[in-house]
């Protein structure tokens, strides 16, 4: 029972934070709303007994990534951008799409709830902690995607630098 209460609390925090991140005008406020959203996800990880992900989420995302975000926001003058007109003309259509898609998903989930018996995930290695189990899965079962993910990050970094660097003529 408390689990369910906690789940809804964290889920609400996540969704509200995400909504505020895209709707607030001030970039600093957006970043802080994003922190709330990420903290909500961390809470969800904890409810799933994924302690390692919980710690990593807080240290890397809230600690590392967000501090970098705030640095960039403070270094780049965004006052002008906040005053600029934003493209909100289609928000009615957007809300209609959101409600429509949400209704379809909800209907499917509701109708399928009876047959929804999720399979149990990989058996937990007895005696091993969360981190050990995770590392076993990550470096054995999912070794290839783990290594390809590093390639993905490399491409993203190279691409980011390519786009951002000044032209040298």
Partner 1 sequence: MSVFYTATDHFVLLPALLLALFGCATLLFDFWVFPDPKQRRWLLMFLVLGELFAAVAYWRQFDFLSSHGGELTAFNGALVVDHYSLFFHSIFLVTTLIVGLMSYRYMEVRDEHHGEYYGLLMLAQTGMFFLASGYELVTIFIGLETMAVTFYVLVGFLRSDKRSNEAALKYLLLGGLSSGFLAYGFSLLYGLAGSTKLVDIGRMAASRDANDPILLMALGTTAVGLLFKISAAPFHMWAPDAYEGAPTAITAFLAVGSKAASFALLLRLMVGPLGAARVAWEPILVAAAVLSIIIGNLAAVTQTNTKRLLAYSGINHAGYILLGIVAGNPTGIKGVLIYLLVYTFMTLGAFAVLIALTRKGLAGEDINDLNGLMKKAPGYGIAMLIFLVSLAGIPPTGGFFGKYYIFLSLIETGHYSLAVFAALFVAVSVYYYFRLIRAVFVDTEEQETPALSTSFGLKVGLGITGVMTLVLGMYPEPFLRLAQLSISR
Neighbours of 34 (CB within 10 A): 21
Binding test (CB under 8 A) with partner 1, winner from 80, 116, 126, 127: 116
Under rule CB under 8 A, residue 112 binds partner 1: yes
CB neighbour list of residue 31: distance below 8 Å, 6 or more residues apart: 66, 69, 70, 73
Choose the stretch contacting partner 1; rule: CB under 8 A; options: 2-10, 29-37, 70-78, 112-120: 112-120
Residue number, 67 or 153, with CB nearest to partner 1 = 153
User: Does residue 21 contact residue 29 with C-beta atoms inside 8 Å?
Assistant: no
- Tokens representing 58 are 């807080």
d(CA 7, CA 43): 8
Under rule CB under 8 A, residue 80 binds partner 1: no
Closest CA to 58 of 41, 73, 72, 75: 41
Under rule CB under 8 A, residue 8 binds partner 1: no
Binding residues among 146-165 for partner 1 as defined by CB under 8 A:
148-149, 151-152, 154-156, 158-159, 162-163
Could you tell me the smallest distance in angstroms from the CB atom of residue 161 to partner 1?
9
Under rule CB under 8 A, residue 93 binds partner 1: no
Binding test (CB under 8 A) with partner 1, winner from 79, 118, 126, 127: 118
Under rule CB under 8 A, residue 142 binds partner 1: yes
What sections of the chain are H helices per DSSP? 2-23, 27-47, 51-56, 66-75, 79-83, 91-112, 130-136, 143-164
Binding site for partner 1 (CB under 8 A): 105, 108-109, 111-112, 115-116, 118-121, 139-145, 148-149, 151-152, 154-156, 158-159, 162-163, 167
């Amino acid at each position: 029972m408390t689990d369910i209460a906690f789940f809804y609390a964290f889920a609400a925090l996540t969704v509200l934070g995400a909504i505020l991140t895209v709707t607030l005008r001030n970039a600093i406020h957006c970043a802080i709303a994003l922190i709330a959203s990420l903290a909500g996800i961390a809470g969800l990880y904890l409810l799933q007994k994924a302690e390692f992900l919980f710690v990593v989420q807080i240290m890397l995302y809230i600690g590392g990534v967000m501090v970098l975000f705030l640095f960039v926001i403070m270094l780049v003058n965004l006052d002008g951008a906040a005053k600029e007109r934003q493209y909100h003309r289609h928000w009615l259509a957007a809300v209609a799409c959101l409600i429509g898609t949400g209704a379809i998903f909800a209907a499917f989930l509701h109708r399928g709830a009876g047959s929804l018996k999720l399979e149990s995930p990989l058996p937990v290695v007895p005696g091993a902690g969360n981190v050990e189990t995770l590392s076993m899965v990550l470096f054995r079962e999912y070794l290839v995607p783990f290594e390809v993910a590093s390639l993905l990050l490399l491409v993203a970094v190279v691409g980011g630098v390519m786009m951002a660097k000044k032209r040298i003529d």
